[in-house]
């Protein structure tokens, strides 16, 4: 499961915890909902490989240049999926440019031992 969860599970996932007091993203109900997925056996497969870094910066108040962001985009997977993860990255530089998103890609590289994995690019 992956995407923009709009939850910062840890205080270190926001640039300033005090700035979010009484707000969304850091409330205990939100964090508990995230932990429930982990209790089901789903694991954040990126954090062990990329322990720090934000995935979102508000457009207001120069948040990106100041690195005042949040880590709210996640890839969670089963133990079997986690075992297949060969690498991960948060592509911060994708936030730069003329018309960037306020989120950046979170990338997971998989090492799949399968005859279906022929290393050809997937084009949609």
CATH number at residue 20: 3.60.10.10
CA neighbor of 90 nearest in space, from 44, 37, 59, 49: 49
Provide the pairing of β-strand 85-90 with 73-77: unpaired
Q: pTM for this structure? A: 0.88
Q: For position 98, what pLDDT does the model report?
A: 85
Please say whether the beta carbons of 46 and 74 come within 8 A.
Answer: yes
Q: Coil, helix or strand for 11?
A: helix
Task: Please tell me the distance from the alpha carbon of residue 71 to that of residue 15, in angstroms, as a whole number.
Answer: 9
Q: Locate the DSSP E strands across the chain.
A: 2-4, 43-44, 73-77, 85-90, 106-110
pLDDT at 81 over 90: yes
Report pLDDT digits (tens) over 8-58.
999 999 999 999 998 899 999 999 999 999 999 999 999 999 999 999 999
Query: What residue numbers bound the domain in which 39 lies?
Result: 2-110
Total structural domains within the chain: 1
């Amino acid at each position: 499961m992956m995407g923009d969860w709009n939850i910062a599970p840890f205080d270190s996932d926001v640039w300033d915890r005090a700035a979010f007091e009484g707000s969304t993203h850091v409330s205990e109900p939100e964090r508990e909902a995230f932990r429930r997925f982990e209790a089901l056996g789903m694991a954040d497969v990126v954090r062990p490989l990329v322990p720090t870094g934000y995935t979102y910066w508000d457009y207001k108040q120069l948040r990106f240049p100041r690195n005042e962001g949040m880590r709210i985009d996640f890839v969670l997977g089963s133990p079997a999926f986690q075992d297949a993860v060969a690498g991960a990255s948060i592509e911060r530089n994708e936030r730069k440019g003329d018309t960037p998103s306020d989120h950046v890609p979170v990338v997971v590289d998989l090492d799949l031992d399968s005859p279906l994995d022929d290393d050809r690019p997937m084009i949609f």
